[in-house]
């Protein structure tokens, strides 16, 4: 669909509007957002469509049809997204369609290994939401995250990978020599091996007001929501590579960017730090903690911040804030499933698996492969793995390495 084909009519204070926007954003489907609070004509249009009632979101499609407060499955069906795999059994099921998962899948499918990739949101993972990947080998001028993701997807499809989108995996289990993967819609698929490449997501601060203003001033994706802040004042929370890189991106739109760093210094790469320090629109406040997100009329207006050096609290006026304070692995679906995780929830693989007695539990006749988990036949690659470098290039590299190990595993099965 092209840019003009989907229009979402809603208001910042409406959680269902936020969910629909998030869904479209995650699936990289372009849409036009109309805030009916600020547009009387649009409000009249919504009421006309809904028999005089102001029901939002009202989503209008290019063919003139429309959906009112649609459930995710309804929206997915309307957009023609494939929601069921063609078979029930595969050689390999890859959970997660980011750089690690898609690279592994294109390697295995190219070798004739039947491969299904199950992705809960958009293909490309976190990389898809990155404005520009500048350190991708072979792309001397950089490449946008969305273009890179689309290229990966096309390449996987060219080698015959089956892709299943909009389905969250809720658990895995073992059934004799087969592994089973369950999805949220109650479907079960089996495979001789599994690769977990579910990546991670941005951590939340967990202070008052953060969830109240989600999508109405509080954001976690600069590429998605940065352009909303043209000529405005924004704050970025965090001091790592994400916070600094995204601040540089936001400074293209916003008039002023304040980076609030909890520690005494950045954790980001030197080169990016230098760019941030000399940027005329960026102000940096070290040793500053955010205590609350404050607003009025369902819209964020201030942050309550604490200067740890002086102990002084103040209100910082902002139109929007972007939170980049680290990552949480997407491994909830593995809890209690026999896959060993570290204390933060990242997956242990290969040499990191603890030896219990002579053998690692579950491995009687052989040692695990480098990217194999504590469950034989279940592999992990990319950001979800303990010790991974959280780089797109290494995630793709781990995907390739996992694919080769899986090929060996399947040969010996
Ligand atoms: P990082 O873990 O690198 O940094 C997190 C930042 O958030 C730190 O400054 C940390 O402060 C701060 N922080 C954590 N918790 C809180 C809190 N509760 N309140 C306030 N501040 C907090 O996370 P990133 O998301 O930046 O990066 C994740 C990984 O991805 C890293 O390995 C990074 O190198 C990589 N990455 C690489 C990129 C590239 O190569 N182009 C781009 C983006 C990310 P403190 O230091 O005080 O703990």
Contact at 8 Å (CB) between 266 and 242? no
Which H or E element spans position 202? strand 200-202
Residue 357 has a pLDDT of 55
Residues found in the chain: 413
- 264 Cα to the center of ligand 1, angstroms: 14
Residues of the chain with CATH 3.40.30.10: 3-79
Taking 70 as the threshold, does the pLDDT of residue 115 lie above it? yes
Q: Are strands 132-133 and 200-202 parallel, antiparallel or unpaired?
A: unpaired
Q: Does residue 131 or residue 147 have the better pLDDT? A: 147
Which residue is closest in CA terms to ligand 1's atom 35? 390
* Stretch 93-118: mean pLDDT: 97
For the stretch 35-51, pLDDT in tens is 998 899 999 999 999 88
For the stretch 157-208, pLDDT in tens is 999 999 998 789 999 999 778 999 999 888 999 999 999 999 999 899 999 9
Distances, alpha carbon 72 to alpha carbons 55, 83, 284, 355, in Å: 17, 11, 39, 44
d(CA 187, CA 11): 35
Comparing CA positions, the residue from 204, 196, 200 lying closest to residue 348 is 196
DSSP characters over 47-94:
HHHTTT---S-EEE-TTS-EEES--HHHHHHHTT---S-S-SEEEEEE
Which residue is closest in CA terms to ligand 1's atom 47? 263
Sign of the CA dihedral 404, 408, 411, 413? negative
Residue that the structure tokens 């892709």 belong to: 163
| C-beta atoms surrounding 317 within 10 Å | 11
Instruction: For residue 178, give the DSSP letter.
Output: E
Taking 70 as the threshold, does the pLDDT of residue 358 lie above it? no
d(CA 326, CA 189): 33
Q: How far is CA 275 from the centre of its chain?
A: 26
Beta bridge partners of 294: 302
Residue 370 has a pLDDT of 93
Distances, alpha carbon 126 to alpha carbons 29, 113, 211, in Å: 16, 26, 21
* Stretch 284-304: mean pLDDT: 93
Contact at 8 Å (CB) between 250 and 238? no
Ligand 1, pocket residues at CB < 6 Å: 135, 205, 237-243, 245, 261-263, 267, 324-327, 390-391
- Residue 364: CA count within 13 A, CB half-sphere: 0
Which residue is closest in CA terms to ligand 1's atom 46? 263
Q: Collapsing DSSP states into helix, strand and coil, what is residue 370?
A: coil
| Helix, strand, coil percent content, the chain, rounded in steps of 5 | 30, 30, 45
Contact at 8 Å (CB) between 381 and 369? no
Query: Best substitution site from 325, 329, 383 to test ligand 1's pocket, by max atoms within 8 Å of Cβ?
Result: 325
Regarding the domain delimited by 3-79, which CATH topology (the fold level of the hierarchy) does it fall under?
Answer: Glutaredoxin (3.40.30)
Residues of the chain with CATH 3.50.50.60: 89-201+328-412, 211-323
Distances, alpha carbon 147 to alpha carbons 2, 26, 132, 223, 233, in Å: 16, 14, 9, 13, 29
Taking 90 as the threshold, does the pLDDT of residue 305 lie above it? yes
- 267 Cα to the center of ligand 1, angstroms: 7
Distances, alpha carbon 119 to alpha carbons 162, 200, 383, 390, in Å: 11, 13, 15, 19
Contact at 8 Å (CB) between 99 and 127? yes
For the stretch 359-382, pLDDT in tens is 677 788 888 999 999 999 999 999
| Domain at 211-323, CATH from 3.30.1360.120, 3.30.470.20, 3.40.190.10, 3.50.50.60 | 3.50.50.60
- Looking from the CA of residue 272, the nearest atom of ligand 1 is 41
Write out the CATH class of domain 89-201+328-412: alpha beta
Mean pLDDT of the chain: 91
Distances, alpha carbon 29 to alpha carbons 151, 162, 293, 406, in Å: 16, 21, 30, 33
Query: Best substitution site from 240, 304, 330, 344 to test ligand 1's pocket, by max atoms within 8 Å of Cβ?
Result: 240
Given pLDDT bands bounded at 50, 70 and 90, which one contains residue 2?
Answer: very low
Q: Are strands 7-10 and 32-35 parallel, antiparallel or unpaired?
A: parallel
Which of 60-69, 131-140, 362-371 has the highest mean predicted lDDT (pLDDT)?
Answer: 60-69
């Amino acid at each position: 669909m092209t840019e003009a084909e989907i229009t979402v009519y809603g208001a910042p204070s409406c959680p269902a509007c936020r969910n629909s926007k998030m869904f479209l954003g995650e699936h990289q489907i372009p849409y036009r957002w109309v805030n009916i609070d600020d547009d009387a004509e649009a409000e009249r249009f919504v009421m006309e469509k809904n028999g005089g009632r102001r029901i939002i979101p009202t989503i209008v499609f290019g063919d003139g049809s429309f959906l009112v407060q649609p459930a995710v499955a309804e929206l997915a069906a309307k957009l023609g997204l494939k929601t069921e795999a063609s078979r029930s059994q595969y050689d390999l099921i890859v959970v997660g369609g980011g750089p690690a998962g898609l690279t592994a899948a294109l390697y295995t499918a190219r070798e004739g290994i039947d491969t299904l990739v199950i992705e809960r949101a958009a293909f490309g993972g976190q990389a898809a939401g990155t404005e520009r990947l500048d350190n991708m080998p072979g792309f001397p001028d950089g490449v946008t995250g969305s273009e890179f993701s689309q290229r990966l997807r096309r390449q996987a499809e060219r080698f015959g990978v089956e892709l299943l989108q909009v389905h969250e995996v809720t658990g895995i289990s073992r059934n004799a020599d087969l592994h089973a993967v369950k999805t949220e819609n109650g479907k079960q698929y089996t495979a001789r091996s599994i690769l977990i490449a579910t990546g991670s997501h941005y951590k939340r601060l967990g202070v008052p007001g953060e969830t109240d203003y989600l999508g109405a001033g509080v954001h976690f994706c600069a590429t998605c929501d940065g352009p909303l802040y043209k000529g405005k004042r924004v704050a970025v929370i965090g001091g790592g590579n994400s916070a600094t890189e995204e601040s540089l991106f936001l400074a293209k739109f916003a008039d002023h960017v304040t980076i609030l760093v909890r520690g005494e210094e950045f954790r980001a790469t030197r080169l990016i730090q230098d760019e941030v320090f000399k940027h005329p629109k960026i102000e940096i406040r070290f040793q500053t903690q955010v205590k609350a997100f404050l607003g009025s009329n369902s819209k964020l207006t201030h942050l309550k911040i604490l200067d740890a050096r002086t102990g002084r609290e103040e209100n910082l006026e902002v139109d929007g804030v972007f939170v980049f304070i680290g990552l949480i692995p997407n491994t909830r679906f593995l809890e209690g499933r026999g896959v060993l995780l570290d204390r933060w929830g990242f997956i242990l693989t290969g040499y990191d698996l603890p030896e219990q007695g002579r053998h690692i539990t579950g491995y009687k006749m052989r040692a695990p492969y480098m990217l194999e988990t504590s469950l034989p036949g279940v592999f992990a690659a990319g950001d979800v793995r303990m010790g991974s470098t959280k780089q797109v290039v290494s995630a793709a590299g781990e995907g390739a390495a996992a694919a080769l190990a899986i090929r060996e595993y399947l040969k010996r099965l």
